Amino acid sequence: MITIKKFTFNAYSENTYVLYDETKECVIIDPGMYEGSEQNKLVDFITENSLKPVLLLNTHCHLDHVFGNKFVFDTYSLKPQFHKGELSTLQAVPSYAPQMGFSKYELSPEPDTFLAETGTIKFGNSTLELIFAPGHSPAHLCFYSKADDFLIGGDVLFYGSIGRTDLPGGNHDQLINNIKEKLFLLPDSCKVYPGHGPATSIGLEKQQNPYL
């Protein structure tokens, strides 16, 4: 069984997730740590729970989701994994981060291994399925646990909202189609852990999301 720990980091209130199971192997998803105090919170949690980080995953590569990539690499020797279509988004971060007030951005390493549009990721005794859902960003991935009935959704679907599509590589129609044709095929009970804000569920968003 997967346990999920959520942290909310940086000026964008981005949700960083640590997933782990009974083996104590863990996955770090979208590390948004920018300040040293945020980095310490993540490390303290991993240390106190005797976890072993084995994967660093990015749903997508907007700056608020990759602030901590370099720190995770330096601390745990893990390079990020994401879909190859997000590489140009990652490479663009150094050019605009200072304009957004983030002069301390540390350059993220690039992957040795890219993730596909479909397939699975394994850690410990657990499996996550890949769901390709671009629209907010060019090659956004979500991570779904069928066994534990949850989705790490990144910036695709929020509580009562959807990801913005006015950034480079965004496409509103594509985002809506991916939510309806991919995410809404998941069970209504599936809990959605988004990149910002509180958790929701597939069933709840089907019923009341004003954008859908």
Domains of the chain: 3-148 (3.60.15.10)
Work out the angle at residue 171's Cα, subtended by the Cα atoms of residues 109 and 173, and round it to the nearest 5 degrees: 140
How does the average pLDDT of the chain come out, rounded? Answer: 97
Residue 212 CA to its chain's centroid (Å):
22
Confidence at residue 83, expressed as pLDDT on a 0 to 100 scale: 98
Per-residue pLDDT tens digits for 62-77: 999 999 999 999 999 9
- Chain mean position to CA 137: 12
Q: For 102-118, give one letter per residue: b (16+ CB within 10 A) or e.
A: beebbebbebeeebeee
Spatial separation of the C-alpha atoms in residues 163 and 176, rounded to whole Å:
10
Residue 18's pLDDT is 99
Quick one: pLDDT at residue 168?
86
